[in-house]
Amino acid sequence: MDLKPNHNSPILSDPAPITKSRLGVHSNMLPYSAAPGVGFAPNLLLITRKRTGVLNDVRASIWLDAMKSSSPPPNRIAKDVVNELPSFDPDLLYCSWMVKYPSALASFDQIVTQAKGKRIALFLDYDGTLSPIVDNPDCAFMSDAMRVAVKEAAKHFPTAIISGRSRDKVYEFIGLNELSYAGSHGMDIMVSDKHSTNDQGKEVMFQPASEFLPLIDEVYESLIEIAKGIAGAKVENNKFCVSVHYRNVDDKDWNALANRVYDLLENYPRLRVSHGRKVLEVRPVISWDKGKAVTFLLESLGLSNCDDVLPIYVGDDRTDEDAFRVLKERNCGYGILVSSVPKESSAASYSLREPSEVMEFLKSLVTWRALEEGLNE
Ligand SMILES: [Mg+2]
């Protein structure tokens, strides 16, 4: 991949697909990464800008389904898993789900067997992966023990953080210079000079959505205004995208919040909404996501050869699925989904229950590699 300043922009030439725009529906009106089963009903394409009450209900219902699907409460179980089991036992259901997504700790030997003689490239999401999910997103601090574990991992493996947060914010939380950082869902990448294999060994910055900055700032101000009337809603400017958190919003107000966001976005055809864990993400309509960021980082770090590199991506969110999918499609590396409940479907290969297991996994990788390096001396 060309890292020079003239790197091709991934910005789509036609942000609103012609089939939808002709029908009066912008792509930003539809859930960007809707869950399986929450797909776009074909008849939705017939909705015009001047909506009827019935169509409003249909639209609201689809958004609400997408919000619920992206934000399962702790005791929510995937329907397909429930149907396969005679009784409702959360532990049994989780064990059943793990047949498809085995624990990365229990499968550790299998994973490192694939890594023998190869470099491991580590990609880590932040919220819900390295830090606990908390009510106030400004207080999603990682533990000192986790920071040490990540620091130790980065001594042995090129390590990058890929987060929906702004790069500055996630750096503030982590505070380690030896990592590469991709903020704003990969739209703001800084490759660490510690990892860089380019000629100068300098930091490389890549911001594929830089032209959207004024638009993002403008919509951020508007989102703050429309969220004011909804108790618990919190709007966060992540530089190249804006998060509307509804973790602290009463369930009965989710619909109203989504309506306001989508109504506003009708005025911004170059922006769209995707769904994360109790968060609506307003982002530019560009062909760029965490999966593309992984590909960019692998190439810019000189780690794209599957014969001698094993990438591992750990994340907990629907937006991490793009990265899991990239690894799966390359048939190179593993996605590890962090979840304490079964999820309906994932492109990940393995699972971990919670950040404490992520820490254990990182420590195990370091111990294994240190031993391997010692044996080879
Ligand atoms: Mg996350």
Q: What is the pLDDT of residues 10-21, one digit of tens each?
A: 543 333 332 333
Kindly give the distance from the C-alpha atom of residue 42 to the centroid of ligand 1, in angstroms, as a whole number: 31
Q: Supply angle C-alpha 172, 149, 106, rounded to 5.
A: 130
**What's the gap in Å between 225 CA and the centre of ligand 1?**
26
Domain count, the chain: 2
| Contact of 241 with 283, CB cutoff 8 Å | yes
Task: Looking at the structure, tell me whether residues 220 and 334 fall in a common domain.
Answer: no
The set of residues, in sequence order, having a beta carbon less than 8 Å from that of 138 and lying 6+ positions away, is none
Task: Choose one of 284, 305, 337: the last residue of a domain.
Answer: 284
Report the separation in Å between the CA atom of 318 and the middle of ligand 1, taken as the mean of its atom positions.
8
C-alpha of residue 163 to centroid of ligand 1, in Å: 7
pLDDT digits (tens, 9 = 90+) for 33-84: 333 333 323 222 223 334 455 556 666 666 677 776 666 655 444 444 445 5
**β-sheet bridge partners, residue 371:** none
pLDDT at 91: 85
- My answer on whether 203 and 311 are in the same domain is yes
Residue 54 phi/psi, 5-degree rounding, is -65, -45
Of the candidates 155, 153, 173, 154, the one whose C-alpha atom is nearest the C-alpha of residue 163 is 173
Return the CATH number at 271: 3.30.70.1020
Q: How far is the CA of 134 from the centre of ligand 1 (A)?
A: 11
- Together in a domain, 101 and 234: no
Q: Which domain holds residue 274?
A: 211-284
Domain identity same for 191 and 130: yes
Q: How far apart are CA 164 and CA 166, in angstroms?
A: 7
Distance 43 CA to ligand 1 centre (A): 33
Q: How far is the CA of 369 from the centre of ligand 1 (A)?
A: 26
| pLDDT given for residue 197 in this prediction | 55
Ligand 1 centroid to 63 CA: how many Å? 21
**Burial tier of 207 (Cβ tally within 10 Å: 0-12, 13-18, 19+):** middle
Question: Do the domain assignments include residue 77?
Answer: no
**Do 189 and 101 fall within a single domain?**
yes
What pLDDT is stored for residue 372 in this prediction?
85
Token pair belonging to 246: 């509804």
Tens of pLDDT, residue by residue over 214-251, are: 999 999 999 999 999 899 999 999 999 999 999 999 99
The pLDDT tens digits of the residues spanning 166-181 come to 999 999 999 999 999 9
Q: ∠ CA(251), CA(255), CA(257), 5° rounding?
A: 95
The pLDDT assigned to 55 comes to 56
Q: Which two tokens stand for residue 206?
A: 């890549």
Can you give the pTM of this predicted structure?
0.78
